[in-house]
Amino acid sequence: MASAAMDSHVNVSPRGTDLFRVLDTNAVAYLDKTGSGNETAAHIRAGGRLTVMFCAFEGPPQILRLYGSGVIHPYKSEGFAGLLTAHFDNIAPPGARQIVEVRVELVQTSCGYGVPQFMYCAGRDGLDRWAEQKGQDGIEAYWREKNACSLDGLPTGIVKTPN
């Protein structure tokens, strides 16, 4: 996932495909877990653009890019609950933070000849173990400390600010 807002750093964050869903012909979503930053949410709030890129690491070389704009559905919001029920079997993994919905405006493929082949060894469960250890209260405290603003000081909307 790559995102950017005007006059901001470009952010590129790897995502697994296990929490990625196709919603319809022009929309996709992924269930986002708590991480060290929340650049994507800040960029979307600032009117930024998104690109989702898939690479074939085995078999024939291929790259698929989905270009679009996004909507953030924060944890416990109506949008989050609706998408969680409709597309994720109503199961939020440990540390679930938001669902990022991407309205796809352009799809492009390319050869992928420069992408090396990799062999899958195993998934990593460190993020889930970390979130389980923190518990929901600890996760929400972490959001306030580490996820409230982007690197460029743009608000992410993850925490409610007083009026």
| C-alpha neighbours within 13 Å on the C-beta side of residue 127 | 14
The span from the CA of 102 to the CA of 67, in Å, is 8
pLDDT in tens, 67-100: 999 999 999 999 999 999 999 999 999 999 999 9
Instruction: Look up residue 82 and give its amino acid.
Output: G
pLDDT of residue 161: 55
Q: How does residue 20 score in pLDDT terms, banded at 50, 70 and 90? A: very high
| Two structure tokens written together for 162 | 């007083």
Q: Do 127 and 95 meet the contact criterion of CB atoms below 8 Å apart? A: yes
> What are the structural domain ranges in the chain?
2-147
| C-alpha neighbours within 13 Å on the C-beta side of residue 107 | 9
Phi and psi dihedrals of 82, rounded to 5?
-65, -45
pLDDT in tens, 105-158: 999 999 999 999 998 899 899 999 999 999 999 999 999 999 999 999 999 999
- pTM score, whole prediction: 0.92
The CATH homologous superfamily for domain 2-147 is: Electron Transport, Fmn-binding Protein; Chain A (2.30.110.10)
pLDDT of residue 48: 83
